[in-house]
Amino acid sequence: MGARFRLGRPTKRARELRNNPTEAEQLLWLCLNGGRLSGLKFTRQLPIAGYFGDFVCRSAKLVVELDGSQHVETTEYDARRTQEIEAAGYRVIRFWNNGLTSNMDGVLEAITRAAALADRAPTPSPSRKREGSKK
C-alpha cells in the first residue's frame, strides 16, 4: 500500500543531486547541516513545485539557491522557477557560487535574516472603518 503513494515522486533524482553536489553546495552544507546555523534545519534537494530546492528550511518556508556560471544563460528559466516555488509558499534567496566562497559569513548572515523574517507574525491590516464615522 505504501509503494503506490511513492509513484511519481522524484526520490531517485533528488538522491542523485544530493550524492553529487557542487563544490559550493558542499561548502554551504557544512555550515547548514545539523542545525549549525541558528538551529535551523535544512534539507538538500527537496522537490517543490516540480523543481529541486538546493537547500530548504521547511519551518521558515525558505529556499536557498546557489547559482553557478551556467545560470547567466538561464535567467528566464530561473525567474519562472523562483515564481513557481514562491507560489508554493516558499521564499527563495539566491547566491552566486563565487559570492559564497568569497563572503561565506555574509551569505550565512543573509540566510539567518531571511529565516528570521519568516518567524515574525504578519502585521494585521488596519481597520478600514474611520473613527467617528458612526451614523
Higher per-residue pLDDT: 17 or 71 = 17
Burial class (CB in 10 A: 0-12, 13-18, 19+), 5: exposed
Return the domain boundaries, the chain: 22-116
- pLDDT number for residue 120: 60
- pLDDT number for residue 36: 93
Summary mean pLDDT of the chain: 82
61-110: pLDDT as tens digits: 999 999 887 655 678 888 999 999 999 999 999 999 999 999 999 999 99
Q: Please, which residues have CB within 8 angstroms of residue 63's CB and are 6 or more apart in sequence?
A: 48, 53, 54, 55, 56, 85, 90, 91, 92, 93
* pLDDT at residue 1 is higher than 70: no
Indicate the class that CATH gives domain 22-116. alpha beta
